Amino acid sequence: MADLRDVVGAILRDVTEARGQADLAVRDLVSSYAKDPILRAFTIPRTEIRDLKIDLKVAVRSVDDSPDDRARKEQRVRDVVRSSIASLPFPLDPKIEQSIFKMGLLSTAPESIEKELSVAARSEALRFAESAKMEVYKDLIVVEERKDTDVRLVAFSTDIQLTPRKFTTLRDARAHVDTISKLRAGQTLTPQQTKLAEARMKDERMQIQNRVSTEFLLSIKQISEALSAKLAAIAAQPSEKRMVIDVVAEDLKDIPQHMISTVTISLDVNNILPQEEE
C-alpha cells in the first residue's frame, strides 16, 4: 500500500531525473560535435517530451483525514473547550474536561455538553453549601458564605424580625447581634431553641445549594450552546484527505476488477526547471 501523493511524487521525481540524465547526454554530445569537423555543421540532437500521460491502475484502500489535518483539528477543539471551561463559575475536574474534549471531536449537541457539566455543577453547589460557615451566636445564626464578603444573619425563631443586611466580617455581624439580641447576659438557648437552630441551619444549607446550583446550571446552558456552535464550525471546515491506494500489480491481481480504478496523470514536462537569468 502507498499514499497517492507518494506515488505521484515518485513519478514527478523520476520524470525530473530522466530530464536531467537526458541533458547530461546532450552535454557530452556537444563536446563530440564540436571536435568533429563534419558533425559541427549539424544541429545537436535533443529529444524533448513535451506532454506525458500516465494511466495508473489503483485500488483505493481507505480515505481519511490526513494525520496533520486531524492534529490541527484536535488542537482547535481542545482550544475552544479549554476557553469555554475557563468561563465556568466553578473549577472543573480534568477528567470531565477530557470527556468533553472527546465529545467535541464528534461535534456534539449542546444538550450532551450540558448534561456532562451539570453533574459537576451540582456537586460543586453541594460542596459550596457545606463549606459555608454557620454558627449560633446568642439567639441568631451567623452565616458566612464567602470570607469577609458575604456575611448575614438568619433568625431561627419568630421572636426576632430581621431586616435583610450583609456584613463584611463576622465581627461586624456579631456586634449587630449584640444590639438586637433578646438574651440577657449569661442566658443560654433552651433545648427547644437549639433544636430549632440546628433545623434552620440545615434548611439554610439546602437553600444555598439550590440557589448556587440554579446559578451554575444557567451559566452552563449558555456556555454549552456557545461551545457546541464553535465545535460545529470546526467540524464544517474542509479537511485535507489522505488516500491510501494499491498500485503494485502483484497487489492488484487479488482485488476484484470492479474495485480497480484508473488515475490519469497528464504532465507538461517541457521546461520543468526555470531558466537562469543572465
Which residue in this structure is represented by grid cell 500489480? Answer: 249
Q: What is the pLDDT averaged over residues 41-45?
A: 81
Question: Which pLDDT band holds residue 199 (cuts at 50, 70, 90)?
Answer: very high
Question: Which pLDDT band holds residue 269 (cuts at 50, 70, 90)?
Answer: low
pTM check: above 0.85: no
pLDDT over 70 percentage in the chain: 92
Q: Which residues of 162-191 are buried (b: 16+ CB within 10 A; e: fewer)?
A: eeeeebeebeebbebbeeebeeeeeeebee
Q: What is the pLDDT averaged over residues 256-272?
A: 71
Question: What is the per-residue pLDDT across 118-162, written as a single tens digit (0 to 9) for each?
Answer: 999 999 999 999 999 999 999 999 999 887 678 999 999 888 888
In this prediction, residue 225 carries a pLDDT of 94
CB 246 within 8 A of CB 255: yes
Q: What is the pLDDT averaged over residues 201-207?
A: 96
Alpha helices (H) in 89-190, listed in sequence order: 94-104, 110-131, 170-180
Question: What is the per-residue pLDDT across 72-90, written as a single tens digit (0 to 9) for each?
Answer: 999 999 999 999 999 999 9
Question: Which pLDDT band holds residue 1 (cuts at 50, 70, 90)?
Answer: low
Q: Is residue 273's pLDDT more than 80? A: no
CB 104 within 8 A of CB 80: yes
Average pLDDT, the chain: 85
